[in-house]
A and B are shown apart, each in its own frame.
Chain A
């Protein structure tokens, strides 16, 4: 169903034009995004920076089809979310997007491998296939031998690696990471970033990552700086 909607497969993976997001908090109108236009190619590793309230999280939510823009256009892989239903957006998230959150967001009472299988359950894959793919994803983050541990039995870095495995398991077009090292010490942060770098370089996975730490942002090939709902800097070191 989704394949039919891909019109320009050679176009950039992400195309954003004049994106505006306005929140209404009671009487107050909050302008979170004031006309963002940018595009991200396949295989890029983008770090989005900015102070809190700069609109970077709102932007990330829209990229992840968790939120809809007030105005403007957003295309992921040629798909526009504007007229899609809640369930159709869920399907796109399931097939094309992998999320990594600051707080890991694992299900507590389920083992690592079951956490990783979660997107595959909603993709309606049979359990044998799910297990295979989850094991592969856990190997990719170096956690194969801990696959039956529960989150409480894992360190913060290990939990985040499980979360990365979950984000990868469906072979998404893009991996969206919101402050992935925010809850980790610097050594573990380095390990996580090493995984990101390897996934990007060896497997060609496109990564968009929010961070407010310069040294973490340095792992990205491209840095975008948000301020007051606008892009104020876009620096691509790969070019």
Chain B
């Protein structure tokens, strides 16, 4: 203990004598650790944003999209012609045990008018289950009730963006808006949901009852049809099974012969999100590789300067060995010196990393997230760089021949 404390004092003194040299040596570690901190902050910020977006879509979601129908040699792409029905969605819910909830919907772009304000947006005709699946709550007002759904009620729920643009500061509840010349009473306003994974504003939307959309807005050409059915599975493990069962069920219901193409497609949204997550991971790995390289370069810098230091202080080492320093005393002295170099560099690097990340995110608006574990990890990593790269010079010092060391000029 006594020797450890004495070694620490000796190391600090030796480093303070060559302030400029110590600072330059630390620079490699400072940059390396700073990069690690920034990398983890940016990486976990991106990961968190993706996780939030996945959560905003709701969990365990499958989307069944209608389309690709072939009629009389005319082939039509997915989603353009509704081939799904409300009955399909009911069958999915009742016949596939892994399904928790379904929500058929029909959508289209239309202009919404309030007074002298207008706003073009996506109108969804759906049932309240869609909002439940997407875990989307109302900010004010109420959701659709059975009466609205059965009677094609002329009511609507506004997304935050639409409400803000049409109404400004006024409370929209109870006001009348017109969509395709049909007057609708605003019964609710949704909480904001932010950007989707592919960058669209999810709040720029209006919901109306499915029956209303079918009868009064978009469904006149294809009565009773829906474009999309959103399906929520009970748990992530059954997603694949449910996907296959939906395909089988719908092929059967649509009487599609073996060998014929589906007139619908089933998409797994979690997969889309996880591929986004995958690319964020690759980004993190890349930054991590850069950070590790600069830490290694920093470590080599420490090793280099420690070797110089050992050579410069050969005589001092000789004196110490002559008066009774053992190998481990000398080893410890130089190891502590490189450890102090790398740890001080590490602490400064953490500061630089945090400052750099804050500056970066203020310029680029990237989401960033600091974690105590990452900072601790960077600190420990810089320490181990010091020990690893300091060991060889320290060992070299501890093995010096005292006679030669004392004679060294």
Q: How far is the CB of A148 from chain B (nearest CB, A)?
A: 15
Of A117-125, A154-162, A200-208, A209-217, the segment with at least 4 beta carbons within 8 Å of chain B is A117-125
Verify B403–A95 contact, CB threshold 8 A. Answer: no
Number of interface residues of B (CB under 8 A): 22
Enumerate chain A residues within 8 angstroms of B318, measured Cβ to Cβ.
105
- Considering the complex, which residues of chain B in the window 1-35 have a beta carbon less than 8 Å from any beta carbon of chain A? 2-3, 6, 13, 17
A sample of 5 inter-chain contacts (CB < 8 A) reads: A93-B323, A105-B319, A105-B322, A122-B323, A125-B2
A45 at the interface (CB under 8 A from B): no
Of B42-50, B183-191, B208-216, B324-332, the segment with at least 4 beta carbons within 8 Å of chain A is B324-332
Verify A87–B327 contact, CB threshold 8 A. Answer: yes
**In the complex, A46 Cα to B320 Cα: how many Å?**
26
B402 at the interface (CB under 8 A from A): yes
Q: Contact mask B299-343 → A, CB, 8 Å, 1/0?
A: 000000000000000011011111111111100000000000000
Contact of B322 among A64, A91, A110 (CB under 8 A): A64
A99 at the interface (CB under 8 A from B): yes
Enumerate chain B residues within 8 angstroms of A109, measured Cβ to Cβ.
13, 17
**In the complex, A93 Cα to B319 Cα: how many Å?**
12
**In the complex, A63 Cα to B25 Cα: how many Å?**
42
A99-B322 in contact given A66-B403, A67-B403, A86-B327 (Cβ < 8 Å): yes
**In the complex, A64 Cα to B13 Cα: how many Å?**
30
Verify A91–B403 contact, CB threshold 8 A. Answer: no
Among B3, B6, B17, B328, chain A packs the most CB atoms within 10 A around the CB of B6
Verify B326–A90 contact, CB threshold 8 A. Answer: yes
Number of interface residues of A (CB under 8 A): 29
B110 at the interface (CB under 8 A from A): no
Q: How far is the CB of B409 from chain A (nearest CB, A)?
A: 10
A26 at the interface (CB under 8 A from B): no
B266 at the interface (CB under 8 A from A): no
Verify A121–B326 contact, CB threshold 8 A. Answer: no
**In the complex, A107 Cα to B13 Cα: how many Å?**
12
B276 at the interface (CB under 8 A from A): no
Q: How far is the CB of A74 from chain B (nearest CB, A)?
A: 16
Contact of A121 among B3, B321, B327, B403 (CB under 8 A): B3
**In the complex, A121 Cα to B332 Cα: how many Å?**
13
Verify B322–A124 contact, CB threshold 8 A. Answer: no
- Considering the complex, which residues of chain A in the window 108-133 have a beta carbon less than 8 Å from any beta carbon of chain B? 109-110, 118-119, 121-127
Contact of B323 among A67, A86, A87, A118 (CB under 8 A): A118
Enumerate chain B residues within 8 angstroms of A91, measured Cβ to Cβ.
324, 326
Contact of B326 among A87, A106, A127 (CB under 8 A): A87
**In the complex, A110 Cα to B10 Cα: how many Å?**
9
Verify B326–A122 contact, CB threshold 8 A. Answer: yes
Verify A90–B325 contact, CB threshold 8 A. Answer: yes
**In the complex, A118 Cα to B17 Cα: how many Å?**
19
